[in-house]
Every structure is written in C-alpha cells, then in structure tokens.
C-alpha cells in the first residue's frame, strides 16, 4: 500500500510511488537518476507547510529529513553553509549557539530552509527582503545527477532562478546564507483601529524595523506588531515562562482554537466572535533574541491565500476587501495579516522589482472560504498582485507571465537544466506551463 501524504492544512495530498530519504548529496543524485531511469517524476516535499499543491509528489518523493545541519560557519563574515533539509527551528537554534542569526524571518519555523526559500517565504520589514535574499550561493542536484554550484559570479542566471526556484530546476543540496551577528528585538504589540493604522502605516514602516498588523475584518479592530533592533549588548527582557505559556499556548492556540471551533459549529457566531477576539486583545511589550520574537507557535490550523501588491496599492486593496467582506454570506474568524518587504532582483520573487505589501487572508479549517478567497484574489490580481507560491491561488502561467518581467528567463533556464521536466507536478504544470 502506498503511503498517503497530506500537507499541514489538508489542502494537498499525494500517494507517491516511493519515498526516498537521502542522507548525502550522492544519495540525492542517485534517487534522482533512479527515478529518471524509471520514467518517474521527482519532487522534494519539505515539511508540507505550503497551502498550495507545490510539494505534491505523484512519482518519487524526496524527504530530506536525514540531510540536515550546518556544514560550516564563518562567524566573522557571517557566511553559513547548511544542508537543505534543515528545519528553520533547528537552523535558528544552531545559529544562536554560534552568535549568529538570520536577518529576517517569517512567523513559522516548521519549514525546511530549502522549502522556505523555494516558495518565497518572507517576514516583514520595508528595508528587508524575503529569505531568498539572504542566499549567497547554493548547490543544486540536476536531472542528470550532476551537481551545479551557483552564485552571483558562478552560473549567475541559474543562481537568479534557483534562489526562488519552486523546486522546478533540481533539488537544492546545500545553501550558503549571509547571516548577521545575533541581535535582540524589542517587541511592542498594541491594539488599534484599521483606519488609524492605514493612515500612519507609511510613517511606521519608514522608522520601525519590522511592522505588521492583523485586522479582524468584521469590525475595524487591529493588532499592530512593531519589532525593533536594540543596541548590541542589550540584555533581553523576555516574557516570563508563565506569561509566554499563557499568551501563546493558552490564548492564541487553546482559547482561539475553541472559539474557531464554535464559529465553525454555529456559523452565525463567526462575525460576533471575530469582533470579540479583537476586543479581547491586550498590549505586550518585551524583548528577546530575534528568532524568538519573529516566530510564534501556530497550532490552530487554517487555509491561507496571500498576494504581494505594490506598496502604493495597499490602501485601495484593503478598501475593496473591506467592502467585499460585507457581502459575504458567511463569517470569517481568522484575521487578515499585512506585512511589507523591500523590492529585490530575484526572478520569481513576489517582491521582484518593487517595494511590496503582503496581504494574507485566512479561514479556519472546515469553514467556508471559497467565495472569500475568490473575491480577495480578484481584488489583489486587479492591482497587479502576485500570489505567494506556497499559498492558495488559481492563476496559471499565462496570467503569471504578465506579472513577472523575468518569467520567460526562468522558464528558459528551467528548460536548459531540466528539458524533460523531471521535477514537475500538476501545480508546476499550471503555474509554469508544460
């Protein structure tokens, strides 16, 4: 019986013909060439934390759980070479022991480092880019089993494609990251109103290192998070273990999970419960090592769609989304999340060539979401939005080509290194073309 695989949100599943657990670059290459000889496709599937079907492996699935850890680290330059299957939570802890850190992170650390960069994982910060911008070099195992090294000076076109390659070019074996000296973040979380945060958002993002807000969309309540670096040598003042347990495990997971299940069981309660969640928020002020501030435990499962829009389009998109939500025939319990990123030069990055605002919509598992997500996608796409590669969307290659100036360059490199599309699956056929 073939083993059934399902992603974290239950939005994608597969029954691969076989699952390989390579523990070396040679073993990765052997798994690839064996699949090719058998006429099977190959997909690395990471931790399964993508909401889209990007990790679905109908042929041979590569699970890199035996290929983890830091290979080398230069604490002076900050260059760290890491195996591709390393989970972010493991990488963050290892870097911390070395006195290093990632310059920016998202709020989930369950992904593998290669899965995170390959799908465009990002945090927030108007002067900072996504995780892929922190890559200095990488090694890729190609369809013929050969190893290709690439960097800005070695195979630069392959580097520009592979830094965010969707797993479509080969299997990343190692990444060299540009890390920074470990740092402490001062975190301040406050409540407010949507119109107020929108009015001051540009000013906030200009002066704060990391800003994001969560909008409880059946009212105008928001939770605003500001995270700022403190001077080197400043001792952290973290939440006590009891306070942290209460805030994150009890309130954000256990209690919110109970509220979400109530909204799912009695749909008419979803709107008032969403407003109640906003009203129940309280201020938090603390400081801690960066990865402990960036990352929060997420045990309440949901589905998600996220679009990257030009920074200047944020206000109009939120205004239209606000109007669309009022017309829904169902409630939404999980808030909208808004973040920012600096423009970059990575070909398939959602922030490629422009400063970006990210808008993410969610719904608790088992509650209706299709009309909501469709309305959001129409609004965001009309503003020139680009969907997050690892989250739910309906766009195809024809639509995406118009949103990425270097889209054809990416497919050209793909056809050079994988002319038979060994690394494809139905999702890649849709978003990149067959």
**β 70-74/42-44 pair status:** unpaired
* 355 closest CA partner among 339, 342, 345, 338: 342
Instruction: List helix spans (H) across 23-100.
Output: 25-37, 88-97
Which residues lie below 8 Å from residue 188, measured CB to CB, with a gap of 6+? 225, 226, 227, 283, 284, 285
Backbone angles phi and psi of 376, in degrees to 5:
-65, -45
Q: What is the mean pLDDT of the chain?
A: 96
Q: Please state at what angle helix 314-326 crosses helix 194-207, rounded to 10 degrees.
A: 160
* Bridge-based pairing state of the strands 180-181 and 100-101: antiparallel
Round to whole Å and give the CA distance between 420 and 59. 14
pTM, full prediction: 0.96
Per-residue pLDDT for 245 more than 70?
Answer: yes
Smallest CA-to-CA distance from 107 within 271, 242, 306, 374 is with 306
What pLDDT is stored for residue 434 in this prediction?
87
Distance from C-alpha of 279 to C-alpha of 202, rounded to nearest angstrom: 25
Sorted by where each starts, the structural domains of the chain and their CATH numbers stand as 70-181 (3.30.465.10), 184-387 (3.40.462.10)
Share of the chain above pLDDT 70, in %: 100
* Letter string b/e over residues 72-90, b meaning 16 or more CB atoms within 10 A of that residue's CB: ebeeeebbbbbbbbbbbeb
Question: If you average pLDDT over residues 333-346, what whole number do you get?
Answer: 98
**Predicted local distance difference test score (pLDDT) of residue 336:** 98
- ∠ CA 13-57-386, nearest 5°, is 80
The CA–CA distances, whole Å, from 364 to 111, 218, 224, 271, 390 equal 20, 15, 21, 13, 18
pLDDT at 1 > cutoff 60: no
Phi, psi of 363 (to 5 degrees): -150, 145
pLDDT at 2: 65
What pLDDT, on the 0 to 100 scale, is given for residue 360? 98
């Amino acid at each position: 019986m073939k083993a059934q695989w399902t992603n974290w949100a239950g939005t994608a599943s597969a029954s691969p013909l076989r699952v390989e657990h390579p523990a070396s670059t040679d073993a990765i290459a052997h798994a690839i060439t064996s699949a090719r000889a058998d006429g099977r496709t190959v997909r690395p599937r990471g931790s399964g934390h993508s909401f889209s079907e990007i990790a679905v492996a109908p042929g041979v699935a590569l699970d890199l759980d035996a290929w983890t850890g830091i290979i080398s680290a230069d604490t002076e330059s900050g260059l760290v070479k890491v195996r591709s299957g390393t989970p972010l939570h493991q990488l963050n802890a290892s870097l911390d022991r070395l006195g290093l850190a990632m310059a920016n992170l998202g709020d989930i650390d369950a992904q593998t480092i290669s899965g995170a960069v390959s799908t465009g994982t990002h945090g927030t910060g108007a002067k900072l880019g996504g995780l892929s911008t922190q890559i200095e070099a990488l090694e890729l195992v190609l369809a013929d089993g050969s190893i290709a090294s690439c960097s800005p000076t070695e195979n630069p076109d392959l580097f520009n494609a592979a830094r965010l390659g969707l797993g479509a070019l080969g299997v990343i074996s190692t990444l060299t990251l540009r890390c920074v000296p470990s740092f402490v973040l001062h975190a301040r979380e406050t409540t407010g109103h949507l119109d107020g945060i929108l009015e001051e958002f540009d000013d906030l993002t200009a002066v704060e290192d990391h800003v994001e807000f969560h909008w409880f969309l059946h009212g105008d309540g928001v939770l605003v998070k500001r995270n700022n670096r403190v001077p080197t040598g400043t001792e952290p003042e973290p939440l006590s273990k009891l306070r942290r347990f209460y805030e994150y495990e009890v309130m954000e997971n256990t209690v919110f999970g109970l509220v979400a299940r109530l909204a799912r069981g009695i749909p008419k309660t979803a709107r008032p419960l969403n407003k109640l969640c906003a009203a129940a928020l309280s201020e938090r002020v603390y400081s801690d090592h960066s990865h402990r501030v960036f990352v929060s435990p997420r045990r309440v499962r949901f589905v998600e769609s996220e679009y990257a829009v030009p920074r200047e389009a944020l206000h109009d998109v939120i205004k239209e989304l606000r109007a669309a939500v009022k017309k829904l025939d169902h409630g939404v319990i999980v808030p909208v999340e808004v973040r920012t990123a600096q423009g970059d030069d990575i070909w398939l990055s959602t922030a490629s060539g422009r400063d970006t605002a990210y808008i993410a919509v969610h719904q608790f598992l088992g509650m209706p979401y299709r009309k909501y997500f469709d309305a959001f996608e129409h609004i965001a796409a009309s503003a020139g939005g680009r969907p997050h590669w690892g989250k739910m969307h309906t766009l195809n290659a024809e639509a995406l080509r118009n949103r990425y100036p270097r889209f054809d360059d990416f497919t050209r490199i793909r056809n050079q290194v994988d002319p038979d599309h060994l690394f494809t699956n139905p999702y890649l056929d849709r978003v990149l073309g067959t």
